[in-house]
Homo-oligomer: A and B are copies of this chain.
Amino acid sequence: MNPLSSWRQRLPSLPVLQWGRAYKRETLLSDSVAALIVTIMLIPQSLAYAMLAGLPPEVGLYASVAPLLLYAVFGTSRVLAVGPVAVVSLMTAAAIGQHAVAGTPEYWAVAITLAFLSGLLLLAMGLLRLGFLANFLSHPVISGFISASGILIAASQLKTLMGVKAEGHNFVDLGLSLLSQLGQVHVLTLAIGGVTVAFLFWVRSGLKPLLQGLGMKPRAADVVAKTGPVAAIAVTTLLTWGLDWQAQGVKIVGSVPQGLPPFTLPLWDLGLWQQLLVPALLISVVGFVESVSVGQTLAAKRRQRIEPDQELVALGSSNLSAAFTGGFPVTGGFARSVVNFDAGAQTPAAGVFTALGITLASLFLTPALYYLPQATLAATIVVAVLSLVDFSILRKTWHYAKSDFIAVLATLVATLTVGVETGLVVGVGVSLALYLYRTSRPHMAEVGLVAGTEHFRNVQRHSVVVSPRVLSLRVDESLYFANSRALEDRINNAVADRPGLEHVVLQCSAINDIDASALESLEAIDQRLRGAGVRLHLSEVKGPVMDRLKNTEFLHGLSGQVFLTHYQAIHELSPEVV
């Protein structure tokens, strides 16, 4: 490979060139139908998540235009639908809340800056191929975090559903704030919100079987059910207008400016950037993880492929475009991508058409939103996010692996009691610490020969033959600095306990790597054993490990031998037990 082509391989690619060139008329139809359905679903979501982020509703529409176009150019998923999503909107609110007051122009400017920084970070991670960093967010930590975020989001919407004021970026503050307001509940608002919530839950669970019972195909019934929020918006808006509920104190969305997304710039304030850096990084990583897992699940169904590093570039471009068009941080959304897929989208052109639909909506539809009750939007959020809450991960990890359970619990508790950013950082920290702790205390078993075979098993679990002159030790972990001293301790103790010992044989079949610390430990072990008149042998060393050991003085100076199989070692060192 010449240097030029190697360099070009590192440049971001343009997937649009692939699917765009091969675009056909049949695809146009299915993409358009999918786009129409996603647009209908995306309008209420955009308005609601903008409200969740503390921003005016039109900002949600702005954030659903340019990002979709940019993703269509750079993204590798055929069906991912990019835009505002619940968890990222919550994290946005938490991040901006420390710098500006919700509802002010400064607040919006900080949101734009946050999208800009998040875009830069994603783009940089993509160009530097740092996508693997997202892997350090473990599945249980993400599950715990998303469930806790769902609860926080639902709790944050209670104030709108109840028609009161409450503040707080964690469950404790929010809960106390809400409790103090219980006397001021606005009954009509609560009724609108409550009925909408009940209706939306029924749409989710009851409508689909009903439609299928009426002879509709399952997929079509699914799509119709997704229009539930739009119906709720239409009905409550009409009722509020017709019955003049605004005069009775129901809060409405009010006038939403008509027009194209504006051209905006982030704040050029290095001090602010520094303070927003960590939130922007966390938002980027969470958004990336959510987006890639949705994209991969859908791509696999059609045997297509997602390139995680290219996805970073695509999401980075999307967020940068959001920053320049009055939006806020976006990522690929789960529900709307599934709808896009189910409705038959074939290429990212469906995203382009969706962007067109949202543009039309923000040009012509906004006056119709004037009488939309805020409680209706809050109800759509509550119903959407409660499906994210799933505590089965606690039960699952409790039974499967306690260390994962601890990581989930720490994430949940920290997110609910302190906030989203702390929750994520604690989750990553705890899971890394537990992983290191586990690998630093590897499972080591003294093994013995199963009589009449060439197999070796743990002496504590099986009835096996051993010689008092030979210690056979199997280590079930790669040897590295954090666990090499554990091996030293184990062997030192064994030698101190067994006066008749002459040979120690390490069965290395489960050792995938030996780092320099472990090599020094092996040298020290060999030297100490030699001082005590005991020889050290190895058996079943893996190819790649052996390749590296061959270049070292350790193998040349080793007091014992390296055996291909453990049986050969025992056969030679203690023929009496074979």
Tell me if A29 is interfacial: C-beta within 8 Å of chain B: no
Tell me if A135 is interfacial: C-beta within 8 Å of chain B: yes
Contact A135:B496 (CB < 8 A) given known A300-B531, A477-B512, A517-B140: no
Q: Say how far A172's CB is from chain B's closest CB, in angstroms.
A: 27
Q: How many angstroms between the C-alpha atoms of A477 and B480 in the bound complex? A: 13
**Per-position contact with B for A302-337: 1 when CB-CB < 8 Å, else 0?**
011110100000000000000000000000000000
Q: Which of these binds chain B: A45-53, A278-286, A349-357, A431-439?
A: A431-439
Residue of B nearest to A475 (CB): B512
Residue of B nearest to A497 (CB): B305
Residues in B whose Cβ lies below 8 Å from that of A467: none
Residues in B whose Cβ lies below 8 Å from that of A483: 135
**Per-position contact with B for A124-164: 1 when CB-CB < 8 Å, else 0?**
00000000101111111100000000000000000000000
Q: Say how far A463's CB is from chain B's closest CB, in angstroms.
A: 16
**Per-position contact with B for A531-562: 1 when CB-CB < 8 Å, else 0?**
11000000000101000100110000000000
A interface SS class = helix
Residue of B nearest to A545 (CB): B476
Tell me if A446 is interfacial: C-beta within 8 Å of chain B: no
Contact A304:B496 (CB < 8 A) given known A477-B512, A478-B477: yes
Tell me if A177 is interfacial: C-beta within 8 Å of chain B: no
| Number of chain A residues whose Cβ lies closer than 8 Å to a Cβ of chain B | 76
Tell me if A399 is interfacial: C-beta within 8 Å of chain B: yes
Interface pair B548/A495, CB less than 8 Å apart: no
Interface pair B485/A440, CB less than 8 Å apart: no
Residue of B nearest to A549 (CB): B400
Partner of A481 from B138, B485, B512, B515 at Cβ < 8 Å: B138
* A residues adjacent to B (C-beta < 8 A): 132, 134-141, 296-297, 299-301, 303-306, 308, 393, 396-397, 399-401, 403-404, 431-432, 435-443, 476-478, 480-486, 488-489, 492-493, 495-496, 499, 509-510, 512-513, 515-517, 519-521, 524, 527-529, 531-532, 542, 544, 548, 551-552
A-B contact pairs, 28 of them (CB 8 A): A132-B437, A132-B440, A132-B486, A135-B483, A135-B484, A135-B485, A135-B486, A138-B480, A138-B481, A138-B482, A296-B488, A296-B492, A300-B528, A300-B531, A303-B495, A305-B493, A305-B496, A308-B489, A396-B516, A399-B551, A400-B548, A404-B515, A404-B517, A435-B482, A438-B513, A439-B478, A477-B512, A510-B542
